[in-house]
Structure 1
Amino acid sequence: MTSIEAVAPPRTALERARATVGPLLAAALAELPGETREVVESGLSRQDFSTAALVLLCAEAFGDVDVAPAALAMEFAQLHEQLHADLMAHTGARVEFGADRVVSAADALLSLACGRLGRTGVMILTVALMSVVDGYVQEIGMAEEAEADMSRHLGVAAAKHSSLTAAACELGALAAGANARQAGHLRQFGDDLGLARKHVDDVLAVRVNRRTLPVVAAINARITVEGGRRWCEQQAGLLLARALNHLEQCGPRARTAGELARLARQVTIGRCAPAVPAQASRGAHSDTRSTTLPAACPVATNS
């Protein structure tokens, strides 16, 4: 008699990250007071756990070590930054819970994160968070300026949105025994990945009354916001290509390199709509010039 064994489909890197840190997460949340835990749980429900996945995969790229506590710590740090973003923008958690509760939750998250990292990890996280703070300081100053300098906006975007992904990749690699060159390449991988994701985030949520990257690109090039969106999409593709080059140069295990590449595409250009040939969507007599333009992500114009 032949038996057929049911095999579960392989889980994605994001699913594996949630499953890996899940038990540790439950224990950590139990340490928090009820009102603080409610804010943290709400925030975590909106995160994709890609920061934790980067720590886990970058460690797997070089060895077999348990970095689940560090992965959870970096996910807490990511939420810490998001809560501060909500406070600055008067949106999200601040609207739902009020400023005082959000500040308390952000402080608790930072304590939880540092308590799960060793000395090197705390140093890496501290440098990353200082970069985030510097980004916010620069952004506040730029908001009062009439000009929209693209290089400065890109610098702020990198400081705020690439620092933690870069730190997550470096931390995971070093924990598994990667040398300085290998860890450096993975740090650059995370840095480019974070900025590529920021470009896509801004394309997916264009607000014409705010200086998002597509709007700044449109102002500088004197094009439409739609043109700015297309430019940002192209930049995301270029940054992803550069990130994947750093991934290749660090010499990781082949299987893990493939997973990291898939994750990188998933959280960046994978969120954009695929190209649709003009002939297929408009008929044989349509203007084919539109096929030379890059595919655009769905746009939201809410203010």
Structure 2
Amino acid sequence: MATPEVFPQAAPARRAYQALNEARDRVDPALRSAVDALPEDMRHIARYQFGWIDEHGGVSETSGGKALRPALVLLAAEAVGGTAEQALPAAVAVELVHNFSLIHDDVIDTDATRRHRPTAWSVFGASAAILAGDSLLSLASGVIADSEHPAALSGIRLLNTTVQELVQGQVTDLAFEQRDDVDVAECQRMAEAKTAALLASACELGARFAGADPRRTEHLRRFGHDLGLAFQHVDDLLGIWGDPDTTGKPAYSDLYARKKTLPVVFALNSETPAGRRLAAHYHHPPNAETDLTATAELVDNAGGRAWSHTQADRLLTSALDHLDAAGPTARAEELTALAHLVTQRDH
């Protein structure tokens, strides 16, 4: 979802975009400084990944993403009485980890486009992209360590644990592609590891770097976790029914790859006529666009689309309950607006 040049008329959406823009403006200089420390070849690929340059090294105006995760770090810190400056190293580190995971995911999935332009591996080669992702991951811990913040050591440990969750989630996701017996509960656990873990850690890191007490920190972590899982439901819906001009990915991309996403797995386990028809052919490669359209209709008719809508709404409510329980003294409106924004189904 690229940030539009003109804010939507709705005040909450406008507030959310403003919070994202503020976070990007604050994080970008520190992020660029960190990337500048990479070896030349890795630095070039990283700059391309963040949208700062094109493949030839020319200045680019391409969006580097929403900056959602660093925004959560900074806002969580301010919500419990800290400052954005205190949490800036953690915000940069989270964005580095996020982009490490994106580069590797694109290689694994052989995705050709991200953010409306060729992926790093498709430009520089898979091997170079993997190494660039490794460099970003290593850099993330270094940024936190160099901050010498009192929470730096625990922050590095949290970030490393989160990366292990991300890796396990990706491994499980890959394993699902070879299985016909994936159930809803294990698919949810996979989504928690692959997506919710990093959003939870972003909020927790912000709270820790602001010196919040354990109770408030835990509620902010739960806010990020539930928001992350809701976000994954919405992302899975967009992976089937999203507009390619908005998502930057081909129509029905997840169905073409035969991904076991949340709405698909629910449909496969629905024990409905549509679910049984879906199960009968989902392990076969699609043979035409009409086949993908028919597959999407089966997922919908088997209840997968409605179920993910319901789950996203439930998780959003839970996330906001945890935000309220954290007793934010600032930035509650921005965090609420962001939560609503990233769980919209038309972005």
* Kept after mapping to 1: 8 A contact 2:200/2:223: yes
- SS of 2:129's equivalent in the other structure is helix
Deviation at 1:32, TM superposition (A): 2.4
CA shift, 1:142, in A, is 2.8
Say how many residue pairs are matched. 263
2:261 aligned partner = 212
Residue in structure 2 matched with residue 266 of structure 1 by the alignment: 341
Per-residue CA deviation, residues 93-142 of structure 1 (Å, 9 max, x unaligned), is: 32232111111211111122111211111011011111111212323333
Q: Is structure 2 residue 266 aligned with structure 1 residue 199?
A: no
Q: Give distance in 2, aligned partners of 1:94 and 1:230.
A: 35
Of structures 1 and 2, the larger Rg is shown by: 1
Question: Shift in Å at residue 156 of structure 1?
Answer: 0.5
Q: Are residue 178 (structure 1) and residue 205 (structure 2) matched?
A: no
Is this contact kept in 1: 2:82–2:211, CA < 8 A?
no
Query: Unaligned 5+ residue runs, structure 2?
Result: 1-13, 52-63, 112-118, 145-151, 241-253, 275-297
RMSD of the alignment, in Å?
1.8
Q: Which residue of 2 aligns with 1:131?
A: 165
Q: Deviations over 1:188-244 (max 9, x none)?
A: 111111111111111111133322222112211234322312221221111111000
Asked if residue 73 in structure 1 is aligned to residue 100 in structure 2, the reply is: no
Give the AA of the match of 1:106. Answer: G
User: Unaligned stretches of 5+ in structure 1?
Assistant: 1-8, 274-296, 298-303
Find the counterpart in structure 2 of residue 301 from structure 1: none
Q: Residues 248-294 of structure 1: CA distance to partner in whole angstroms, max 9, x if unpaired?
A: 001111x411111111111112xx24xxxxxxxxxxxxxxxxxxxxx
Question: Is the CA contact 2:237–2:263 (under 8 Å) kept in the aligned structure 1?
Answer: yes
Q: By how many angstroms is 1:69 displaced?
A: 1.6
Instruction: Determine helix, strand or coil for the equivalent of 1:37.
Output: helix
Q: Which amino acid in structure 2 is aligned with residue 96 of structure 1?
A: V
Cα distance in structure 2, aligned partners of 1:97 and 1:162: 29
How much does 1:185 deviate? 0.7
Q: Write the distance in 1 (CA, Å) between the matches of 2:168 and 2:35.
A: 29
Q: Which has the higher contact order (CA 8 A, sep 6+)?
A: 2
Deviating above 6 A after TM superposition, structure 1's stretches of 4 or more consecutive aligned residues are: none
Q: Which amino acid aligns with 1:229?
A: R
In the other structure, the counterpart of 2:137 is 110
1:54 and 2:72 aligned: yes
Measured after TM superposition, the shift of residue 37 of structure 1 is: 2.4
Q: Distance in 2 between the 1:50 and 1:262 partners? A: 12
Shift in CA distance, 26/141, structure 1 to aligned 2, threshold 3 Å: closer
Is 1:85 the counterpart of 2:105? The answer is yes
| Identity between Structure 1 and Structure 2 (%) | 40
Which segment drifts farther, 57-66 or 164-173?
Answer: 57-66
Could you tell me which of 208, 220, 223 is aligned with 1:189? Answer: 223
Name the structure 2 match of 1:141: 175
